């Protein structure tokens, strides 16, 4: 893979991570994985494996979200009564959910691609 492509993929991953909601940690919790720092300091096989594992975990979460929204879209399609008369459009709700499912699936694939890159770097 070209160096520019790898850098762009890493930046995309960092952007997605930065946009993810973050929860506060208490003293009993372990600190969150610092992806940016991990990318900046990655030198060893273990470093790249840790980053790859993080991306694989994120991909699994986005696959779950995609499946959930696909199911929700299917549920909205099953509405048979004219609730659009009350100002609701279930066709739009279904399309919205299916669009999210597609986007979440694509995001999962991007995370898996980043994981593969780091697995290769670990070799």
- Which ranges of 20-44 would DSSP assign to H, the alpha helix? 35-41
Report pLDDT for 86: 60
pTM of the predicted protein model: 0.68
Give the pLDDT confidence of 6-26 residue by residue, as tens digits: 544 554 555 555 555 655 555
Is pLDDT of 82 > 60?
Answer: no
Encode pLDDT of 32-41 as tens digits.
Answer: 889 999 999 9
DSSP three-state, residue 86 = helix
Q: Which two tokens stand for residue 102?
A: 């597609």
């Amino acid at each position: 893979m070209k160096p520019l492509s790898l850098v762009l993929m890493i930046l995309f991953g960092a952007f997605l991570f930065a946009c993810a909601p973050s929860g506060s940690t208490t003293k009993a919790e372990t600190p969150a994985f610092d992806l940016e720092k991990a990318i900046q300091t990655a030198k060893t096989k273990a470093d790249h494996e840790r980053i790859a594992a993080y991306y694989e975990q994120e991909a699994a979460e986005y696959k779950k979200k995609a499946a959930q929204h696909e199911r929700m879209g299917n549920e909205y399609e099953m509405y048979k009564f004219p609730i659009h008369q009350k100002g609701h459009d279930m066709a739009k709700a279904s399309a919205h959910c299916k669009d999210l499912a597609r986007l979440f699936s694509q995001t999962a694939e991007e995370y898996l691609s980043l994981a593969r890159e780091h697995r290769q770097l670990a070799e």
